[in-house]
A and B are shown apart, each in its own frame.
Chain A
């Protein structure tokens, strides 16, 4: 498995502002993903964070709204831009560990509230 940390754990933001969420892993991983979990809902994949190149976004998610960086094998950031109340969700990063098959391990999540 892997130990995954996310910062911040929660935040309350004003409409129109942006928030950057960090994800740090304690070991090298092959894949990193970002998910959104809206209140009372399941998880929706936002994008795959690719090391050193642009992230691969799922349908309905765009880079201008959710820019993602992954400068190395153990760190990634997700920015939620120009926020609106509809962006209030839990944002989770997940990783696939090298040699760990296809199991994804999740960070503790960032709970975002947009006023």
Chain B
């Protein structure tokens, strides 16, 4: 079945460092891909999404490109801030029933 694999955390970086969180997926069709963020004590917020190959989702300085050839959707940010400290979830939707499959989440901790 469909699945999402993302790098394990926690990831600890200094402020202004470059961030990459790896995400790969397995799907039989052409899923939509998402990154969600969960700040401490809060629910999930949609960070960005891409619906087809080569699409780039972007929001709040974060970017991710839908790479069909490598089945990947890595999250990147050029200069992280302390306020980016959160748990990041990679996810896919296979369009059949609108269900979302989540990765296990990556906890990001940014040091001032």
Binding site for B on A (CB under 8 A): 1, 6, 30-31, 33, 41-43, 45, 48, 90, 92, 94, 96, 101-109
Contacts and interface: CB of A to CB of B under 8 A. Distances in A.
Contacts, number: 51
Nearest to A96: B98
A96 B100 CA distance: 11
B42 to A, nearest CB: 6
Interface in B44-103: 44-46, 49, 51, 89, 93, 95, 97-100, 102-103
Contact of A31 (B36, B89, B98, B102): B98
Contacts of B20: none
Nearest to B103: A42
* Size class of the contact patch on chain B: 20 to 34
Interface-centre pick from B34, B44, B89, B99 (highest chain A CB count, 10 A): B44
Given A43-B44, A109-B42, A109-B43, A104 B98 contact: yes
A96 B89 CA distance: 18
